[in-house]
Amino acid sequence: MKNGKGKGIRARSHRPRRSAAQSGLSGFLPAIKGILISAVLTVLCMLLLALALKYGLLSEGAVPVINQVLKVLGIALAAFLSVRTACDHPWFRGMMAGFLYILLGLVVFSAAVGGYSFSGSNFLDLGMGAAVGALTAVIFGKKKKEGK
């Protein structure tokens, strides 16, 4: 467009342009980092649980409860680590981190036992991962400030 003085007028955006890396995969990187750190810590906690069982510090009846507690704490840690940096929708990043944390756990467990047997409880675990991740991100997430 030209104004009356012969100079072109350009439409200006209020937001700076993002590169493909900034808008696409950069949102996944904090989530993936959080998932991997949380997964490693969960494996270490599971090894401690196995040692406690071996030496009789815990009964076998406590294993399912401790397993669920470790799973929820792992989801929360993955979501927390993924939303430490500011993002547009922290609840979504947390939900994604929780869902992917559980999905990674299912894949690793399937590989460890040499096969996959799908059950309805897997859907419940994935839903729990998404819900706990989103809730953790809502509580601890940092939202980007307007104009940045």
Least confident of 20-29, 98-107, 137-146: 20-29
Contact 128, 103 (CB under 8 A): no
Residue 2's SS3 state is: strand
Nearest to 28 by CA among 136, 100, 106: 100
Average pLDDT, the chain: 83
Query: What integer pLDDT is reported at residue 147 of this predicted model?
Result: 58
> In the predicted model, what is the mean pLDDT of residues 56-84?
92
Q: How many CA atoms lie within 13 A of 64 on its CB side?
A: 1
Contact 45, 77 (CB under 8 A): no
Tokens of 135: 């809730």
Model confidence pLDDT, tens digit, residues 102-129:
999 999 888 888 887 778 889 999 999 9
Residue carrying structure tokens 């940045």: 148
Residue 33's SS3 state is: helix
Specify the pTM.
0.76
Give yes or no for residue 47 having a pLDDT over 70: yes
Letter for the amino acid at 16? P
Question: 3-state SS of the chain: helix, strand, coil percent to 5?
Answer: 70, 5, 30
In whole angstroms, what is the distance from residue 29 CA to residue 82 CA? 8
Top pLDDT among 8 and 97 is at: 97
